[in-house]
Amino acid sequence: MEISNNKLLRFTTAGSVDDGKSTLIGRLLYDSKSIFEDQIEQVEKTSKRKGHEGVDLALFTDGLRDEREQGITIDVAYRYFTTPNRKFIIADTPGHIQYTRNMVTGASTANAAIVLVDARHGMVEQTKRHIFIAHLLGIPHILICINKMDLVDYSEDRFYEVAAEIKQFITAIGIESGQFIPISALEGDNVVNKTKAMPWYTGDPLLSVLEHIEPDTVDHDLGLRFPVQTALRPQSGTFRDFRGYAGRVEGNEIHVGDEVMVLPGGQLSTISAIDKMGTSVSTAGIGESVVVCIADDIDVARGNMLVSKHNAPRVGNAVRALFCWMDEQPMRPNTKYIVRQCSDEALGIIKGIGYRLDINTLEKLEGAQTVAMNDIFEAEIRFNKPVFTDPYKRNRVTGSFVLIDPGTNRTVAAAMVQ
Partner 1 sequence: MNYLDELESEAVYVLREVYAQFDNPVILFSGGKDSIVVTHLAKKAFYPSRIPFPLLHIDTGHNFPETIAFRNDLASGLGCKLLVGSVQESIDKGRVVEEQGKLATRNALQTTTLLDTLEELRIDCAIGGGRRDEEKARAKERFFSHRDDFGQWDPKNQRPELWNVFNGRHFEGEHFRVFPISNWTEMDVWNYIKRENIAIPSLYYAHEREVVWRNGSWIPNSEYLVLDGNERIERKKVRFRTLGDITITGGILSEADTLEKIVDEVSVMKETERGNRADDKRSETAMEDRKRQGYF
Options 144-152, 171-179, 379-387, 407-415: segment touching partner 1 (CB under 8 A):
407-415
Q: Does 352 bind partner 1 (CB under 8 A)?
A: no
Q: Residues 112-151 vs partner 1: string with x where CB under 8 A?
A: ----------------------------------------
> Which of 283, 335, 343, 418 lies at the binding interface for partner 1 (CB under 8 A)?
343
In the complex, least distance from residue 59 CB atom to partner 1, rounded to whole angstroms: 10
Options 149-157, 202-210, 225-233, 313-321: segment touching partner 1 (CB under 8 A):
225-233
Who's near 27: CB < 8 A, 6+ residues apart?
57, 185, 186, 188, 191, 192
Options 145-153, 350-358, 360-368, 393-401: segment touching partner 1 (CB under 8 A):
393-401
Q: What is the footprint of partner 1 within residues 150-209 (CB under 8 A)?
A: none
For residues 106 and 91, the answer to whether their CB atoms sit within 8 Å is yes
Q: What is the footprint of partner 1 within residues 290-329 (CB under 8 A)?
A: 291, 302, 326
> Which of 336, 340, 382, 394 lies at the binding interface for partner 1 (CB under 8 A)?
340
Options 12-20, 71-79, 117-125, 156-164: segment touching partner 1 (CB under 8 A):
71-79
Within 13 Å and on the Cβ side, how many CA atoms surround 33? Answer: 2
Dist. CA 328–CA 265, nearest whole Å: 38
Neighbours of 121 (CB within 10 A): 14
Residue closer to partner 1, measured from CB, 110 or 209: 110
For residues 112 and 177, the answer to whether their CB atoms sit within 8 Å is no
Q: Does 46 bind partner 1 (CB under 8 A)?
A: yes
In the complex, least distance from residue 203 CB atom to partner 1, rounded to whole angstroms: 26
Q: Does 335 bind partner 1 (CB under 8 A)?
A: no
Residue closer to partner 1, measured from CB, 69 or 297: 69
Judged by CB under 8 A, how many residues of this single chain contact partner 1?
71
Q: What is the footprint of partner 1 within residues 80-109 (CB under 8 A)?
A: 80, 82, 86-87, 89, 101-102, 104-105, 108-109
Options 146-154, 178-186, 306-314, 333-341: segment touching partner 1 (CB under 8 A):
333-341
Who's near 106: CB < 8 A, 6+ residues apart?
12, 14, 76, 91, 92, 93
> Which of 337, 383, 388, 401 lies at the binding interface for partner 1 (CB under 8 A)?
401
Options 141-149, 240-248, 253-261, 360-368: segment touching partner 1 (CB under 8 A):
240-248
For residues 116 and 145, the answer to whether their CB atoms sit within 8 Å is yes
In the complex, least distance from residue 301 CB atom to partner 1, rounded to whole angstroms: 10
Residue closer to partner 1, measured from CB, 109 or 179: 109
Indicate the residue type of 204.
D
In the complex, least distance from residue 369 CB atom to partner 1, rounded to whole angstroms: 24
Dist. CA 368–CA 325, nearest whole Å: 14
DSSP line for 61-117: T--SHHHHHHT---S-EEEEEEETTEEEEEEE---SGGGHHHHHHHHHT-SEEEEEE
User: What is the rounded end-to-end Cα distance, in angstroms, of the chain?
Assistant: 43
Beta bridge partners of 227: 305
Q: Does 366 bind partner 1 (CB under 8 A)?
A: no
**What is the spatial order of strands in the sheet that 141-147 belongs to?**
77-83, 86-92, 9-14, 112-118, 141-147, 179-182
Burial (CB < 10 A; 0-12, 13-18, 19+), residue 277, is exposed
> Which of 68, 320, 351, 364 lies at the binding interface for partner 1 (CB under 8 A)?
68
Dist. CA 22–CA 58, nearest whole Å: 4
